[in-house]
Amino acid sequence: MAARAPFASPLAEELAGDVLERFLRYVRIDTQGAPRARRRPSTDKQLELSRLLLGELRELELDEVELTDFAAVFARLPGTVDAPAVGLIAHVDTTPDVPGGGVEPIVHEAWEGEPIVLPGDDHQVLDPADLTELAARVGHDIVTSDGTTLLGADDKAGIAEIMAAVAYLARHPERPRAPIRVAFTVDEEVGRGAEDFDVASFGADVAYTLDGSGLGDLEVETFSAASVRVTIRGHSVHPGTAKGKLVNAVKLAAALVESLPRDRLSPETTEEREGYVHPHRIAGGTEEAVVDFIARDHDDAALERHLELLHDLADEVVRKEPRARVEVEVRQSYRNMRPYIDENPRVVEAALEAIRRAGVEPRLAITRGGTDGAVLSAQGLPTPNLFTGGQEYHSVREWASVQDMAAAAATIVELATVWAEPA
């Protein structure tokens, strides 16, 4: 039997039981969103968890507990001192990419370091030889699914941590704290988490999403992102009489994709701060074909260059086949939050200090994706992303360490205290 790993701090240890109990309860509720749905939320089942949280927040006697007309749960915990109001944000939905109903969480207590074979599908193995973050957590209490579904730590770990932290703060009015604003949003995984989010009625001066991963990470940079649709119009003719007339949009679309750089500028060849253009969908026929791309970079100027490249490659299609018509539509998705966060350095300093007080070494990180915080930051609410302790998101091998989740909850409590202190 491996010795059980210690907690990051006495506060983390005190919070661990509540965080785990909540987490196990929340992940059993199926909250998958649906892509390309018009309605909001994209699925009604997300609101099952939202309603449960409304009830629990009312039991904790938080103020102004409500379901907003953009389907977010809002609540307020008054401060004990006059200080900036701190927003805490997580999302109730889970990714539609992996089965998410009927989650049966398993707690591997004081895990001894052996490969974890998930009992619902013995092809699904969490092998510490492949997973360095897992290998570093011998002795931790590791939570997994049974291997047939995702776990849902993204983002129910964040929700459980916020709830446990807020419950603790409400029970300890003697502890100085800044005013707290809580928000649980829907449809983050389908890119609509911050849609219609009313920053003014939320009433926070600064905010943090609890939607990160590795212990101690504070993400202050996201990608800037755009989506691009290239529509190629050919000329369809019966193949029996097509000589000299047919202009085949299928072949032109294939040539466009083929003309992309091979060894760079793609998700599969880049990491860290390297951006990319990524064709993720192709559809059509001889008359018309559509290629959908996403373009990503941490640097806005570099993103513009990636978009220019796509324009150039699209122009090249018409240069080679002047009878074709090509249309390029660009839609900006979100911006790197870094410049907005840099305007208020205390947002980062306070979080780093709170992580330290929770007994964890903080680490500034970048994310190769977007967050709700990127959208909110651009709207004037600086919102970096804090770790939750979940790992291997969007897969049936998703796992979370109870010790790390408890450290995240302790970080939130400390954050309320740090913001209550004079700047």
CB of 276 to Zn ion, least distance (A): 21
CA-to-CA separations, 147 to 5, 116, 132, 150, 293, in angstroms, rounded = 24, 10, 20, 7, 32
CB of 158 to Zn ion, least distance (A): 7
CA-to-CA separations, 203 to 148, 208, 347, 411, 420, in angstroms, rounded = 40, 13, 16, 21, 16
Yes or no: say if 204 and 415 are a contact pair by the CB < 8 Å rule.
no
> Is residue 93 among the annotated active site residues?
yes
Which is the catalytic residue, given 93, 297, 372, 398? Answer: 93
- The residues that bridge with 208 in the sheet, in sequence order, are 88
Q: Which residues bind Zn ion (CB under 5 A)?
A: 154-155, 211
Nearer to Zn ion, 91 or 177 (CB): 91
Nearer to Zn ion, 353 or 398 (CB): 398
Instruction: State whether residue 372 is helix, strand or coil.
Output: helix
Buried b (16+ CB within 10 A) or exposed e, 313-342: bbeebeeebeebbbeeeeeebbbbbbebbe
Backbone angles phi, psi at 208, to 5 degrees: -135, 130
**What string of DSSP letters covers 373-420?**
HHHHHHTT----EE--SEESTTSTT-EEEHHHHHHHHHHHHHHHHHHH
CB of 95 to Zn ion, least distance (A): 8
Residue whose C-alpha is closest to residue 223's, from 338, 81, 330: 338
CB of 188 to Zn ion, least distance (A): 6
Which is the catalytic residue, given 141, 154, 188, 353? Answer: 188
CB of 153 to Zn ion, least distance (A): 9
Active site residues: 93, 188
